[in-house]
Every structure is written in C-alpha cells, then in structure tokens.
Amino acid sequence: MALLPHFTHPWDVSPAEARALQDRLRAQVQVVPLASPPRFVAGVDVSVQDEVARAAVVLLSFPDLSPVEASTAQVPVSFPYIPGLLAFREGPAVLAALERLRGQPDVLIFDAQGLAHPRRMGLATHLGILLDWPSIGCAKSRLWGDHEEPPPQRGSWVPLWDGDEIIGAVLRTQMGVQPVYVSVGHRVDLETAIDLVLACAPTYRLPEPIRWAHRVAGGETLPVARQQALF
DNA sequence: GCGACAG
DNA sequence: ATCTTGTCGC
C-alpha cells in the first residue's frame, strides 16, 4: 500500500513563499510516542545527478534490519539547494518514490533534519506532516542548534538546543566516530527516535535504512531474492 | 559587512 | 549533493 499525502501545496514557489509555507505547516507537527513497536522501518535518501533528483525508499524488517523492498522515482529538480529549504528541492521526488512503495513502513527515517531546523520544518517533519505518517530525521551534520560534544561511547547523546528548547539529539552511534543529528520528524518522540536510530545502527555510523537508501539512490539495486520475498 | 549553512 | 586519488589508520 503506497504512502500518499493527505494534502499538498505548491512546490514551485519562491524562497520567501517556501518559508511562509513552513511557518503555516509547523502548527501541525505532532510529538507523540509511536503507537506500537515498529515491525518495518524505511530509509529515505535522495541523490541529484544532472538536475534530476532520484529518491530511494528502502523498506526493512525491524529489529532484524533485513531489506525487503525498494522503490525509486526520478524527478527534475526545480528548486536550488538553500539551507533550510531542502524539502522544496527533494520533497517531490521523495513523495513520488513513496507512492511506488508496496509495503508499509511503521516509520520513515530520513537522511535529513526533522525539528532540528530554524522553523522546525526539516524535510523529515515536512513530509511527515503531508503524509500524516511517523517520521524521524537523522542527519550527518548540523543545520541548526547548539550542543556539547557527546561522550565517546556508543549510545551516548547530548541535547541539541535552540535557546531553552531541545530540538534534537547529537547521538554517537559507534565509539570513535562522528555523531549523527537525530530529531523528531512527526508522530514520534525524541526518546523513541534516538532508540530507533541506535537500534538501526548496530555496526556502522549511519542507520542501515539510510545506508540502503543511499546506495539505491546512487543506482545500486537490492538483491532480487530479497525484493520478492514479501510478495 | 561577516560567518553559518541538512543535502 | 557533487567534483575526485591517494592515503592514514585499524
């Protein structure tokens, strides 16, 4: 069953209009625990090649992290990369890829920010709201917020602050590697997001769903036996 | 004017 | 994100 947006809005807008849209959408964010432990998670990533965005969604069973399905979509990019407005560049491609997914993930993990954003509307939050589906942001670097250096042990984390507000967590997924920036996307809470990202990253710095999505977005394919396993 | 800045 | 080889370290 494809994941479809409950509503959308124009994507071909000016940067000023994009920020205004973010300010209107932010009122709809829900920060609540996941209804039940996930049985499937999905990683989402996008690559851009010659002005064409290729989005990839890879569905994995949880907690065993076996990939079971992948979907992709290619969409010409119609918006430049502007820090804080990533959703307007990559969002349409991601929605197209989710539309082609047959299985149903309990939560989406994005290679991007969620609430850890100047207007609390990172790509993970933006699409989570449009889809009204649980989502998590897990980025490789910081966009917004201040933080201390997290302790070196795997699983340790420190809050990501915007003034007196906690907008995310800086999480060490492996000892001795750079931390990742975890934040609530939509319909999850920060504790759940941290636990889930950690559970998805038993071996490498980045969670397996994102590693798979990154490779598929880059052109690799899933082993055939796995793609057909569920259907 | 200067520095910061997901992907 | 993308452009790109070798190289330092476990």
**So what's the pLDDT on residue A231?**
41
The CA–C1' separation of A152 and C8, in angstroms, is 21
- Please tell me whether any atom of strand C lies within 7 Å of the Cβ of A48: yes
Nucleotides of B under 7 A from a protein CB: 5-7
- Please tell me whether any atom of strand C lies within 7 Å of the Cβ of A81: yes
| DSSP helix/strand/coil, A102 | coil
The dihedral of CA A74, A75, A79, A80: what is its sign? positive
Q: Which residues from the 174-213 window of protein chain A have CB within 7 angstroms of nucleic acid chain C?
A: none
**So what's the pLDDT on residue A223?**
72
- Please tell me whether any atom of strand B lies within 7 Å of the Cβ of A9: no
Q: Where does A111-183 have alpha helices with state H?
A: 123-131
Using CB atoms within 10 Å of the CB of residue A172, give its burial: 0 to 12 exposed, 13 to 18 middle, 19+ buried.
buried
Q: Which residues from the 86-125 window of protein chain A have CB within 7 angstroms of nucleic acid chain C?
A: 111
Task: State how beta strands A40-49 and A157-162 pair.
Answer: unpaired
- Please tell me whether any atom of strand C lies within 7 Å of the Cβ of A218: yes
**So what's the pLDDT on residue A112?**
98
For helices A15-25 and A123-131, angle between their N-to-C axes, nearest 10 degrees: 60
> Domain spanning A15-228 has what CATH number?
3.30.2170.10
pLDDT in tens, chain A (231 residues): 799 999 999 999 999 999 999 999 999 999 999 999 999 999 999 999 999 999 999 999 999 999 999 999 999 999 999 999 999 999 999 999 999 999 999 999 999 999 999 999 999 999 999 999 999 999 999 999 999 999 999 999 999 999 999 999 999 999 999 999 999 999 999 999 999 999 999 999 999 999 999 999 999 887 755 454 444
**So what's the pLDDT on residue A225?**
52
The CA–C1' separation of A73 and C8, in angstroms, is 38
